[in-house]
Structure formats: C-alpha cells, structure tokens
Structure 1
Amino acid sequence: MPGTPAPAPGAARDEAGTPTLRRMLHSPGYVRLLVLSALLGVPIALAAFFFVSLQHTLQHWVWHTLPEDFGHDRAPWWWPLPALLLAGLILAPVITRLPGAGGHLPVLGLGGGPLGPKALPGVVLAALATLPLGVVLGPEAPLMAVGSGLALLALRSAKRAAEPTGAMILATAGSTTAISTILGGPVVAALLIIESAGLTGPPLVTLLLPCLIASGIGALVFTGFGHWTGLSIGALRLPEVPPDVDPDAGDFLWGIPLAVLVAVMVTAGRRFGHLTAAWTGRQTAVRTVVCALAVGVCITAYALLTGRSPEEAALSGQATIAALAAHPQAWSVAALVALVACKGLAWGISLGSLRGGPIFPSILLGGAAGVACSGLPGFGVTPAFAVGAATATAAITGLPVSSAVLTTLLMGTDAHNQMPLIVVGVVVAVIVRELAARPEPATGTATTP
C-alpha cells in the first residue's frame, strides 16, 4: 500500500500532540479531503472497470478466440511459448525505458509508495499487454497503481497545493478504491489499509475514513456499471462452492499440516522470486525476456503432463479458482500436483521479473494443494480448499486478518462453517513466514538494457 501518512492537514491536536477524531472532523482541511475522496471514487472506479474489462476481453481473445480461428478447440499445448515470448518482448522496454518501470516488482508485495501520473502509461501498457498473454500474476497491483496515479493526477489538474500528507492520503484512497473493485468491496480493502499501514488511534481513522468513502462509492459504481454494460468485471469470487458439513476433528488434524505445507510452498515461491529479481537486476531487458519465456515453458509443461488446457496454469487463475471450487472432482490428484508444481514455478519466476499482483495466483495454488490433499481419510474437500486458499494468501501478503476475511467472503454461504479452519490457516501461515524469514538479496530495478 502507499506509504503511511501523517495526520491530516489542519487537524487540531490534543495536549499530547495527537489529533482527536472530533477535532479532525471540524478541520476544514480534513473535510476537504473527505469530499475529494468521495468525488474521486467515481472516476477511479470507472477507470478500474474499463481496465479489468479490457484485460478480460484481451485474455478471452488470446486464449479462446484466436485458437479457434486457427482451427483448435482450445489453446494447444505450445500456445504459451509464443504468447509469453511476446509478453517478454513487450515488457522489457517498458521496464528499462519508461518512467516507473511498468510498476512495482510483485515479489515486494502490493507496492511501495504511490506511483505518480508519469508512471501511469508504463503501468497500463505493462498490465494490458502482458497479463492477457499468460503472465502468472494478478491485476491487483496494477489497479492500485492506476488508482493512486489518477488521484495524484486529479490533484495536479486541480492545481491544488502540493501538501504531502493530503496527497498521500488521497493517493491511498485512490489505490484502495481501485483494489476494492476486484476484492469483493471496500471491507477487504479497508482491512488491507489497517494492517499494511500499521497505524492505531486517530492517525488510523485519518487514513481510513477517506479510503472507506472512496472505495464504497467506487465499488457501487463499478458493480452498477458492470450490470448496465453486461461486460465482465473480473471480481474475485466463487459462484459455487461444494456444500460441506461443519469441519470435524479429522479436518483439523489434516488442516494444520496442510497449512504448514502450503505456507512453506508459498514462502519458497516468494524466496525464488527474490532470487529471480536479483538475477534480472543486471541485463534487465534480455533477462526479462528469458524469464517470460521460462514461464511459458512451465505452462507448456503442465499441458503436456496432464493433457489439459495450458490456460489453467497461465494467467492470474481467477477462472481456474472458480472452476476448481465448483467441480473439484474434474481434476485428478496427479493433475493438481502438476498444476501446483508448474504454476508455482511460473509464479515464482513472474514474481521477480514480470509485472502484476502476487495474490490471485497464490489463492489458486493454495486451493489446488488443498483439493489434492482432500482425498485423505476424514478430510473434506471444502475445508481443504478453504484452509489452502487462506494459508496461501496470508503467506504471500503477511496480513492475517485481511487474508482471513478475503477467504471467508470467497466461501460464500459456507463461510461460517469454514471460518475456524481459515483462522488456523492464516495463523500457521504467518508463523511459517516469520520463521522462514532471512535477509533477502537486493532487488533494485536496473534500467540497463
């Protein structure tokens, strides 16, 4: 998330020097921030809508329409090789020559400080030109960069005073609005703010209120516009989850070791991403293309090993997550193991070299690992999927509450039953993540072609 802001401009303080909520709400500067945040929620939500709709349209064209035009029922096994090679060739000059380097490295999380308006063209080009081609990353990080960039651009266009604290709050509100459109609404986005900012008391409220009002209005506009146009809005959701009884002792006995396994797997992928980032720090252009092609090889390997569509191992995994949750019996254990191995390796490479978000593929990896283990005696499919998805999300983000709420919302009507295992999973993930932490290699983004 964008950096941690100081108290709002013009906010009165108490005797200890901390602004109180009542005094902040009487501050003209803070009231202007709330109004601006509400106003920005509409255009940023519309921008996010067209962004994800165009991405999904391009993705469908690359992986469905174009193969059919060439006489294939589905994308053939070799399809990822030219697609990912093209993605690398497009991305390399964006990283090395455009402002902002196409966005943050996904292995560093959802992003550091907000990207300014000058970085927007590179971020949009990197996302729209490479994510539909099969890069194993999600749209969440580019969306956040677009949201913060548009918010700062609006400030500049309005010729407002460049007050750093107010600009940072509005940039955070913009990125929160954008990310809330695909994470199920403003609640998860607000929790991401709370956990990633690490604030308490009035400073937290100072940041949280503008983000909530902007993301709430933005999510309403985003959803309504999607219904009106009939276009795909790309939100992360599971239309169908296998019904299951309350988790019993067997689910907990198997769920805890599964959580450890998934957390170790995701942590290893993250570590591999750091190694990849260090490797691409030199001769960045050439090595970016090599990494993109390596991702294509991993996806092709999945198609050859399983005889299934390479699309399942490519992309962010949103469609595959929904299909796996609705019809887990359609995958054999061997196919799920191949999916975790091939997509996991492709994801680790993508984390350190390409551009996108780290969360969506991790959810699929955790869910697939859970379903693969659900054949164990006394282990239900739904609890296994839930604990796997929750653990993977917490392991890659390091945000246990946000991960638990996101997974709970994904589980729909069965959320109440699975909540205990979800909580256990995120706790295990955070413990494993911290125990496995060690000094990471430098990941500075070089610009030498």
Structure 2
Amino acid sequence: MAETQGEAASAGMSGAAYLRLVLLGALIGIPAALVAALFLAMLHELEHLLWDVLPQALGAPSPPWYLVIGLPIVGAVLVWAARTLLPGDGGHRPLEGFGRGPTPLEFAPGIVLAAVGSLAFGAVLGPEAPLVALGSVVGVAVTRLFRLRQREAAVLGTAGSFSAISALFGGPLVAGMLLLESGLAMGTALLPALLPGLVAAAVGYVLFIGLDGWGGLSATALDVQGLPMYAGTHLLDLAVAVGVGVVAALIVAAVRLLAARLEGFGRGRHGMVRLLLLGGLAIGLLAQLAQALGGNVQDVLFSGQTSVPDIINQSSIGVVVGVLVTKALAYAVCLGSGFRGGPVFPAIFLGVGVATLAVIGLGVSPTLAVAVGTAAGMAAGTRLLFSSVLLAALLVGRQGLDAVPAAVLAAAAAWITVAALDRRKPSPGRSAQRKPH
C-alpha cells in the first residue's frame, strides 16, 4: 500500500491535478461507504437469520449443538467454492493483515462470497479486510470513468478502502492513522498521498452516520456502552497495562505461529477443502467446549467486537480463561485453515479478555481494562502503535481519558514483545547453513 501511494505522491502533479485528485477522493468516499454499509447490513441480517431466527424455528431458545458445529462447516464449503470457482482466491490471506494495493473489479464476487461464508457462519475473523478490498474495488471502478494515470488510480483505490472501514474504527481519524502508519517509510512524501484517502474516509463516515441504525449497521461497530468514569492514574493500573500488553502479545504471537503451521497443510485443491472442512468442524467444537466451561458459544464464534461488553462484565476467572483459550484456538484455526476475513477484532477481544482478568482479580476499573486491552490487542495484531492507542481512546470516550496513558503503555509493551519475538525467529536458510558438530 505504501509503495503505490509513494509512486503517486512523487508523480509531479500540478496543483490543479492534485486538487482534482482530492475531489475525486471525496467523490469515491460516497459509493465506497454505501457498498460497505450494504455489505455490513447483509452480514448482520444473515447472522440474525442463521443464529437467531433458525434456532427459534427449530424450537430452541439458543443455537443447538448441531447448528454450532454444522454452520461453520457449511460456511467452509462456501469459502472453498469462492476460492476455487471465482477469481481472486476469495481475497488475501488473513495472516497478511488488511491487504495491499488496488483490487481488480473481477475479484469482488469471490471476496463477497468468501467473506459471507466465513463471517456470517461463525469464523473468528473480522470484516475489516473484506471492506478494505471492496472499498478498493469501488475506487478502481470510479477511476475508470476518468482519465487518470496508473499512479493516481492507485491512490484513489486506497482512498476507497479507507472510506469503507471508517465506521468500523470510529470515524476517519483511526482510518487516517492506519493509512499514515502503514506508509511511514515514505517520510514526508506520504502526506500528499494521504489527503485523498483521509477526505474519502471523512465523507464516507458522514454517510455512515446518516445510515446509523439501518440494517443493523451500528451493531457491527466496536462499541462498549455504560463504562464508569475513570479518574486519576494509579501505579497498579500502569503495571497492569504493561502486563496486559505482554500477555496479549504472547497470545497473539502463539495464535499466528499455530495458524502459519496449519496453513501449510492446505496446499493444493484437495488440501484446501480438507483443511477448510476440518477448520469449520474445529470452530464449532471449540465453541461447544467454551459453553461446557460456562461461557457462551457466540463469545467464541465471530470476530468478537459485539462480545467485548459480555467479556468485560464476566465475574468468573474460570469462565474468562475458558473463553480466552477456546477463542484463541478458534482464531488460529480461522487464520490458518483458509477462511477469509480480517485479523484485528479477534486480537482486540483477546486483549480485552486478558485485561478482564485484572478486573476480576485485582479490582481495576473496567474502563481501564477496555482501554488497555483494546490498545494491546490491536498493537499485537497489527503492529501499529498510534492507531491502536487512538482507537482505544475513542472507544472509552471522555469517561476514560485518564486511561489513555495506560493504553499507551499497553500498546508499547505489546509492540516491544512482538518485535522481540520476531528477532528470535531464525532467518530463512539459517538452519540449513548450520553444520552438525
């Protein structure tokens, strides 16, 4: 993503040409946000049908065991169909993060089908990566209506992506910060390339505000209501923040390591379908295990942003630990078995879950736990510091402003831990070059 923006920024555009690029960014923000809203509303309605309406039609007050186990398997079949029958492999691998570069228009059907098969059927992944891809598709489609150079089209494709995800991350600020941090290697050349995307995110978020409440759109955003006021910063809270950052980073690193090893078993068409089906089965079984341990199956299924209020209000350490273990394993399975989605929101849920242990065991404020858990989980999952702290600050609002210093420490501890673990990994070929004594 940074490379395409850098090329556009160094293209030597005139003032009038650059102004047109910014205005096109604003124009792209509207259809990109509309496509994102339609996609999120479709996911919400399908989840409601599968996990609420269908169980009630079967005479069950909650999803019975055979749906908990069976629906992720059905979703795995849809993902396999999207990846094998449609172009684009259903979108990029979730282990790669958000994805990079413009997305061709012909990839859109496969991206939508793979995302629906993953997210609506219970996979532990978030909607951010499909939204990035669909926003890029809209950007590419709009730029084809104008005579633009390839470099300019690349910048506007990225602008569509950040318009599409602005609602998920609380507005254009986090979306813009994500854009900024992902391209820091460009230095000052980043700022001219940043502006069209930031304008698109702002315009897109205005549209999201107008559509709030329609089609369950507000239910898809990360939001925690009713947090108590957190005043003052205590030494214990700062120590908790550092501990949460380290533990969350270790969990996310273990998840990604397990996912990378699982991914190796899915090479080839037959390997792909077997791994997807086994992955779907494992997701359902892990959700059932969490329920047997006192948790809720829907705290293990799905991306986790709507379950953050549930985990933060838990009062049993045993239940929280059970949910954390099963959620982390299901997250690893989804990252590595071929499902399609984003990696951010499950990592945030794990971070908040770790912080909840401090709420129960040490009596720290739940507002502090949400702030430090969000910052730690996102920093561990994305390796982006400022975006993680900004999202945490927006999430807790004015009642949690004093928790922001602790969130900074949590994000920093998570980032340092992940960086230290990366340095311990052997470089490619090192083991092969090492000679036996």
Structure 1 stretches of 5 or more lacking a match? 13-23, 443-449
Name 1:252's counterpart in structure 2: 238
Q: 1:279 is matched with which residue: 261, 265, 281?
A: 265
Secondary structure of 2:387's counterpart equals: helix
RMSD: 2.1
Name 2:255's counterpart in structure 1: 269
1:4, 1:197 within 8 Å by CA — same for their partners in 2? no
Q: Does residue 364 in structure 1 map to residue 352 in structure 2?
A: no
2:241, 2:407 within 8 Å by CA — same for their partners in 1? no
For residue 419 of structure 1, report the CA deviation from its aligned partner.
0.5
Paired AA for residue 239 in structure 1? Q
Q: Does residue 385 in structure 1 map to residue 370 in structure 2?
A: yes
2:316, 2:360 within 8 Å by CA — same for their partners in 1? no
Distance 1:254 1:128 in 2: 38
Distance 2:185 2:428 in 1: 28
For residue 378 of structure 1, report the CA deviation from its aligned partner.
5.7
Tell me the matched-pair count: 423
2:83, 2:90 within 8 Å by CA — same for their partners in 1? yes
Paired AA for residue 318 in structure 2? A
Structure 2 stretches of 5 or more lacking a match? 430-437
Name 1:310's counterpart in structure 2: 297
Paired AA for residue 324 in structure 1? I
Paired AA for residue 186 in structure 1? P
For residue 371 of structure 1, report the CA deviation from its aligned partner.
0.6
Name 1:301's counterpart in structure 2: 289
Name 1:18's counterpart in structure 2: none
Secondary structure of 1:297's counterpart equals: helix
Distance 2:143 2:46 in 1: 31
The equivalences for 1:60-75 within 5 A come to 60-75=48-63
Paired AA for residue 314 in structure 1? L
Name 1:5's counterpart in structure 2: 5
Q: Which has the higher helix share?
A: 2
Name 2:93's counterpart in structure 1: 105
Distance 1:188 1:385 in 2: 17
Name 1:221's counterpart in structure 2: 207
The equivalences for 1:288-367 within 5 A come to 288-306=276-294, 308-325=295-312, 328=313, 330-352=314-336, 353-367=338-352
Distance 1:171 1:439 in 2: 36
Deviations 1:57-113 (A, max 9, x none): 111111111111111111134432101110111111212332111111111111132
Distance 1:73 1:319 in 2: 20
1:9, 1:30 within 8 Å by CA — same for their partners in 2? no
Q: 2:406 is matched with which residue: 396, 416, 421?
A: 421
Paired AA for residue 267 in structure 1? A
For residue 345 of structure 1, report the CA deviation from its aligned partner.
0.4
Q: Does residue 399 in structure 1 map to residue 384 in structure 2?
A: yes
Using the TM superposition, name which of 386-395 and 165-174 deviates more: 386-395
Secondary structure of 1:100's counterpart equals: coil
Secondary structure of 2:341's counterpart equals: coil
Deviations 1:349-377 (A, max 9, x none): 11122100111111111111111232334
For residue 254 of structure 1, report the CA deviation from its aligned partner.
2.9
For residue 405 of structure 1, report the CA deviation from its aligned partner.
0.5
Distance 1:230 1:277 in 2: 35
Identity across the alignment (%): 34
For residue 201 of structure 1, report the CA deviation from its aligned partner.
5.0
Name 1:29's counterpart in structure 2: 17
Distance 1:241 1:378 in 2: 15
1:363, 1:390 within 8 Å by CA — same for their partners in 2? yes
1:247, 1:383 within 8 Å by CA — same for their partners in 2? no
* TM-score normalised by the chain length of structure 2: 0.91
Q: Deviating runs (4+, > 6 A) in structure 1?
A: none
Using the TM superposition, name which of 205-214 and 297-306 deviates more: 297-306
